[in-house]
Structure 1
Amino acid sequence: MRIKVAAVIVAGGKGTRFGANVPKQFIKLEGKEIFVRSVEIFHGSPFISHTVLVMNPDWIDKAKEILSCYELDDVVVVSGGETRQLSVLNGLKALEPVKPDIVMIHDAARPLFEKNCIPKIIASVEPEIGVVVTEPAKETLYIVKDGFVEKVPDRSFYWHAKTPQSFFFAEILEAHLHALEQGITNATDDSQLFLRVGKKVKILECGGKNPKITTAQDLAEASCVLKLNKPRSEN
């Protein structure tokens, strides 16, 4: 029997660091809203049966309007919380009636993730073992205290956490609910909560560019990547 996989796309933030007059997820990247590009990665995959978009509550109606323009009306849009952690939990709760086997949690601000990695990630998820897309640290890292370098660690032990982060649905929901019971509401990473309940997380390199768009410079660089990867027939 084929497993059921769902995706939660988190776009609940205000994007204040971007400096625009709309949340950054509504900024257009090569003619298409950032959040739409992220939604389409998963909605357009034959391996994903349900897609949930978690959106800033003030922008839900606008998001639905835009999704409709791209014929994405079946994407479920729910309200984000005060923190990313609470936004993810809202997305997970929206999937409870569906009861997927696996859920992939992705930041809407990473619209360049390559969908051909989805089956590889799904195949890597195991009971009590989540999977996080990562990238090795490529520069020297410093441990600093009071403005002075205290130690230069071996960077081979350090990896940059990215998304999607994927887990068995019931397990990550349990981890989120446990964190809430413990008064934890501002974890920036789902794997943090998964580890707190005694589970394991494995890393997976998927290749390709998968940056998080936070600033105008990030947007410009993402635009360059899309232009370089655009088929010649579209140029």
Structure 2
Amino acid sequence: MILQDKVALVTGGTSGIGRTTAIAYAQQQAKVVVVGRRMDEGEQTVRLIQEAGGEAIFVQADVTKEADVEAMVDKAVGVFGRLDIAFNNAGTAGENPSLIEQTEAEYDRTMNINVKGVWLSMKYEIAQMLKQGSGSVVNMVSAVGVVALPNLPLYAASKHAVVGLTKAAALQYAKAGIRINAVAPGSIETDMFEAAPDEVKAYLVGLHPIGRVGTPLEVANAVLFLSSEMASFVTGETLMVDGGAVAQ
């Protein structure tokens, strides 16, 4: 198993890609710290891991609050002794009307969750990894962090920011044995996609030359690669998992 005896932390691990990745880490014999705001859903992720024979705990935290983020890393180290891998997945698509209709409150909310949350998470994750002399961080971006769509201005801005943050952090800590990368999915079969009207689903499918949207497991597999020693010479990279959408 590629992650045997590693300790992996997943923010936004209560559903969707985060939950699927947490389970995938456990299947590779990592000990998993599931982080999220929703206790019931987070504990369900832990149960799914435990029922499959894995080891996991849930930590309730809001990644926009520094005290919560510091506590989540402290809890991971307190229970499992170290932190080898972090998948900073928590995020929001926000409300996305036209640029001039968006509010200051919506700007603050989107940037706080998507950018500040990743920065705070890395701040405490990397501090722990520096003590160990090694680690791997994967940040959740989006294809919209590399290109843009006209109806997602704040989301695009926040995800572009995380790409830059990932690159700068990767360069800063490259010689310290810590690799920092990002994964950038296209449209994925999540609850949000399933809830969309049929015409929106058809539009999203049409953006992907491969002819369909992706699955959470396909994203999780990319995160596993970046997290593992299989990607030992990869840092500062944004890995597209988008069915060819950006290449188009």
TM bracket (short chain): 0.3 to 0.5
Q: Which has the larger Rg?
A: 1
Q: Which has the higher helix share?
A: 2
TM-score by length of 2: 0.38
Q: TM-score, normalised by structure 1?
A: 0.40
Hey, which of these two has a bigger chunk of strand by percent?
A: 1
Q: RCO (CA 8 Å, sep 6+): is it higher in 1 or 2?
A: 1
